[in-house]
Structure formats: C-alpha cells, structure tokens
Amino acid sequence: MTRILLVGPLSEGTDGGSLPPYLDVLTAALRRVGAHVERIGSTGIPYDRDLDAIWSPSRLLLAAGTLADRIDALVATQPIDVIALHFGNLEIEQLLPVLWARRNQSASWPAVVIHVHTLMPTLFADHHPDPSMQRAVHAAPAAADGLVYFGDYARQAFASMVPADMPITVAPLPTTIPPGTLPAQEGAVADAVTNLSAYPGPLATLYGYAAPWKAPRLLIEALSRIRRPLRVLLAGPLWDQPDLAGVRLPRPGHASVVGVSRLQIAPTYLAPADRSLLVASSTLAVFPYVAHRAFQGSGAIADYLAHAVPVVATDVANMASLVSSAGDIVAPEDPDRLAAALNRYTNSEHLTRRASAAADRANTFHPDTHAAACLALYARAAARRRSKARRWT
C-alpha cells in the first residue's frame, strides 16, 4: 500500500480557494484505489481582510515555516512514501520546496510529487515582487521527484526546465462533485437558477472565482450579438467586485437584460451541492477566457464534462484538448465567434450531438480515473527517489 502525505490547502471554512474541493475528491479516490492518505496544509488564502491585502512576506514565510515543521515531524514519526504537494497562485505551500532546499533534507526523505496547478505562482511575482524568491518558487518543479500535469499545455510549458528522466503523467482534473451529491435546494445559487427559469432560452453557466483570465466583458459583448435568447449565470466569489471581475456586472438577485438574453450573477462560494445543482440545471457551460501567464487550464470544466454538459470555450491553454468534440472552441477575444457558437446551442440537434460527445468522454473526468493515474506516477517517483538514495549512500 502506497503511503501518501497529501500537502495542500484544507477545506476549513468556505473561502479557501479552488483547490480544497479537488483535494477532497482526490483524497477519497486515492483511498478507494488502495492508497493510505494523510492530509496536512494551510487553511485558506493568505489574505488579511482587515487590511484588505495579501499577508506580508514575513508572515507568509513564518506560516510556511510552521507548516514545514509540522511536515518534518510527520516524516520523522510515520512511514511515508510520497509527499503529494499542491499549490496554486496564492497558497503558502508554494514556499515549501524553497524551505526544504534550505534545510538539506536527508536521502531518506520521501519522494516529492508536485501537482502543477499553476505555471507562475503570483505571491512573489505580483503581490510582493521579489525576483529572487520568485525564481526559487518557479524552480521547484525541476527539483521534484515527479510531476502531475493536468494537460499537455503545462507539460510543454515546463519541458525545457524539467530533467528528461523525471517521472511525469498527464491526468485531466476530475469532477469535484462527489458521487451521490444531491443538488442544493436553497441558497444563492438555487435562488439564481429559480429566478432565471422565468425567462426563455437555454441556460449557460460558469462557476469559479473571478480571475484575470476570465473575461465576462467578452461574454457580455457576445450576448449583445446573439439572435436568440440565452439565460446566463456566473456563480462564484468576487463576481460582484468590478476591479476583480474586470467589468461591472448586474447586482446579485437581478437578471439583467443583455441584447435578447438575461445575465445574472451569484457571487458566493459553491459547495458540492451548489455545483451539483448548477451542472444539473445547465444546458451548456461557457468559458470566455483569455491568455494569462499563470493559467494552464480549467478545473471547473471537468464538473460539466463529467456530467455530459457540453462546453463553449475560448482556445486558451488546455481548453481545446479538454473539450475536444464535447463542445465548441472559438478564438479568444472574438465576441462575434463566441456569439455564433452560443447561437448554435439554441438548435436542439447541435445540442444533442455535443451532449452525446460529452457523455462519451465523461469517464475521463471521473475521480477514480484521475487517482489511478496519480498513484501510478507516485510509485515511479518513489522508485526514482529510492534509486537516488542508494547512490547517495
């Protein structure tokens, strides 16, 4: 039995970022396929609400050092084969490889496998610019014992910096809706779905945090061009913050008129039951994204494709390879082509074809499929680490 210490943000509270739902699903799936998994990690985005700012560099390093100490204690007292490390743009876990390098870990240290959630963490690139620290953080994947990519886009981006003999795998992110999750019956998302049901047209949805690579302005421009009505719901934290959303969106609870369509937001964190309701209610998903140096692919797409909901997305990062025949891919920053693609989903024949293709690919995004690929990679990384240890001793 492979013994895994899964290091990444925990699900304490409801605003801990987009990684905890994935890590919860991954943990359960790894256990189902036969692994022993322990969890440890941070408990939220390092953001001070009183100061309305990311933590100071000293606070970030102190918190990461405390987490590193706790991991050291576990490694010293428990048999662990692999540390599976997860961090996105903001999580303090991105500092752990830097601290481990400074501590000169012994040859008996477990294999470290990094799941590549971001191409360029932003803590020390944007929020607290520090070129030296950013270089150290960015170099972490090259020093790992294995890498899990979520698409070929990230694999190709890191190809020149990763040793040729490093074990890697490409495993698309799975759905983060646990099997058997019932749709929510109340809450902001349920209210928005109910409100939009009063209007005509297919329901197109997108969920997740507002982020620089998400372009609601592009979606609004496309909606102003379509010929037949759609209902559109953007759900997730921060869509009501114009400086983060990139545009002023309708006030929550109100379905604004855009051309012949209706647009509403539900700026709230989506628990599994909320995501289940959103996906079950959706005719299609829409992902109007733009290129960004940190963005390597969407995880939310998996929730739709795993449940046979077709996707319209812009051709950014790994979107085209994820969607494949289960939707339509259009050029980024082209509202006319996005409008044309959305128009096609008011045609029942086109919708049926794309939904059928999504159903055929649904198993690709099942948590157990993803976990099996990760577990096989962990075994290869642990073997590589043991081989190195023998050479060192």
Instruction: Please provide the DSSP assignment of 162-231 as one string.
Output: S-TT--EEE-PPPPSS-TTPPPPSSSHHHHHHHHHTTS-S-EEEEES---TTB-HHHHHHHHTT-SS--E
Distance separating alpha carbons of residues 327 and 345, to the nearest angstrom:
10
* % of the chain exceeding 70 in pLDDT: 97
Instruction: Please provide the DSSP assignment of 300-333 as one string.
Output: HHHHHHTTT--EEEES-TTHHHHHTTSEEEE-TT
Considering only CA atoms, which of 237, 259, 241 is closest in space to residue 251? 241
With a cut of 90, say whether residue 156 has pLDDT above it.
Answer: yes
C-beta of residue 82 within 8 angstroms of C-beta of residue 382? yes
Q: Name the residue with higher pLDDT: 105 or 225.
A: 225
With a cut of 70, say whether residue 222 has pLDDT above it.
Answer: yes
With a cut of 60, say whether residue 10 has pLDDT above it.
Answer: yes
What tens digit of pLDDT does each residue of 318-346 get?
A: 899 999 999 999 999 999 999 999 999 99
Pairing of strands 111-116, 82-87: parallel
Mean pLDDT of all residues in 143-168: 94
What tens digit of pLDDT does each residue of 227-265 get?
A: 999 999 999 999 999 988 999 999 999 999 999 999 999
- Residue showing tokens 């197109």: 204
With a cut of 50, say whether residue 393 has pLDDT above it.
Answer: no
With a cut of 60, say whether residue 392 has pLDDT above it.
Answer: no
C-beta of residue 124 within 8 angstroms of C-beta of residue 56? no
